[in-house]
Structure 1
Amino acid sequence: MTTRRGRRPAGSGVQLTFEVIAETLREQIRSGGLKPGDALPTQAMLMREFGASSLTVQKAMTLLKQDGSAVSRPGKGAFVAHHAHHHDGADDLDSPEATAPVGGTTARVEALERALVDAVEQLADLRARVEALETGGG
């Protein structure tokens, strides 16, 4: 039986590198070494630590997002997700869309649309503040 690169025979107990990376990070989360809201190591750090390619690290991060262990914040990085037992409503990492597993394209598009709406609202608020400062103070 031949296997393609990156695949393992069914029933094999051997973990692939991306699974090892994901499990290592999960264990750090379970042990408290990484707490909800903490930044996960960067892609470059994980590539060096595990001698892995960027694609391998990305696959590991996808696993963590799918199981709800991690959440990405565009432009900021990946963070340990907040879970119900640690929910205090303090920041946007507690929102359902931030901790929801990425289930597919539709869920991803909906999450991006919500983020876009939030960004547009923030821009409108900032624009109003600038206009108020310019007319009132300047």
Structure 2
Amino acid sequence: MTGVVVGRRGRRSAGSGVQLTFEVIAETLRERIRSGRLQPGDALPTQAVLMREFGAASLTVQKAMALLKQEGWAVSRPGKGAFVAYYDHAADNADDLDSPDTTMSIGGTTARVEALELALADAVRQIADLRGRVEALESGGGERGR
């Protein structure tokens, strides 16, 4: 019995070679990054743009973006969108890792940490802003309803 992968459009045999829509979207964006059409720091296409381009549902696009983020190809900036991560994928995709010309990049990990630190700092700022708003509403909010 062959393994079965459950996807958005139902079941398919494991290793069937047929990509689901979210996989096609993710691979297309990876290729745009590899080719240089999308550079580190560039905004990725919005969900609406990807939905139109691929004729996909919003959940399908979200799944593709989640995959890219999980793999380190993209980072989110709350309130701003998704962006190409600062990461050297060429080192990960090298065909011949034994070649003396091939160097593995540890900068990719550093870039991921830096991106996470920036996202965390942005989240902390947003939380502080929200706390300030809540405090302002609580201190003066009782008079609004009157």
TM-score (norm 2): 0.60
Identity of aligned residues (%): 71
Paired residues for 1:67-78 under 5 Å: 67-78=71-82
CA distance in 1, matches of 2:30, 2:36: 10
Please give the alpha-carbon distance, in whole angstroms, between the structure 2 residues aligned to 1:37 and 1:6.
35
Deviation at 1:7, TM superposition (A): 3.5
Q: Gaps (5+ residues) in structure 2?
A: 89-104, 130-146
Q: Is the 8 A contact 2:78 2:123 kept in 1?
A: no
Q: Equivalents in 2 of 1:42, 1:16: separation in Å?
A: 20
TM-score normalized by the length of structure 1? 0.63
Q: Provide the C-alpha distance between the structure 1 equivalents of 2:10 and 2:122, rounded to a whole number of angstroms.
A: 34
The 5 A counterparts of 1:77-88 are 77-83=81-87
SS in 2 for 1:8: strand
Q: How many residues are matched?
A: 104
When the two chains are superposed, the root-mean-square deviation of aligned CA atoms in Å is 2.9
Structure 1 portions without partners, runs of 5+: 88-93, 101-110, 124-138
Corresponding residue number in structure 1 for 2:115:
98
Partner residue in 1 for 2:97: none
Q: Tell me which residue corresponds to 1:117.
A: 124
- CA deviations 1:27-64 (Å, max 9, x no partner) are 00000000000000000000000000000000000110
Separation (CA, whole Å) in 2 of partners of 1:55 and 1:97: 28
Alpha-carbon spacing, 1:39–1:118, altered in 2? closer, same or farther (3 Å): same
